Amino acid sequence: MLASVKGMERTFDYIYGLGMSIGEKHIYGNFISMDIGSSIIASIRNKTGMTISGIIGSVTMKNHCFIIDQEKAEILLKSELD
């Protein structure tokens, strides 16, 4: 599927039943993926000093109990706190 993001054409793909691991936590679900492009990766690296591979959406974060600790600049999964 093609869509335009800020005037640039991007390809979106739907992925159903994808399993992935983040640390020791296994996450399973349906996802939409998009090539975020080198300009987005470079922009985030320039502003934060960090190089990313991708962005996890807020629905996935909510459904799998991600915890954002702004004071410590960490993102944890709820199971890591137990």
pLDDT value for 82: 47
**pLDDT by residue (tens digit) across 6-61?**
677 777 777 888 887 777 777 887 877 777 777 788 888 999 998 887 777 777 77
d(CA 81, CA 64): 13
Tokens of residue 33, six digits:
């993926």
Whether 79 shows a pLDDT value over 70: the answer reads: no
**DSSP one-letter string for 4-35:** EETTEEEEEEEEEEEEEEETTEEEEEEEEEE-
Output the pTM of the full model.
Answer: 0.45
Cα dist from 17 to 29, 31, 39, 45, whole Å = 5, 8, 29, 31
Q: What are the residue ranges spanned by the domains of the chain? A: 2-81
Q: Give me the sign of the Cα torsion angle 49, 64, 18, 23.
A: positive
Residue 5's pLDDT band (boundaries 50, 70, 90)?
A: low
Strand-strand pairing, 8-22 and 2-5: antiparallel
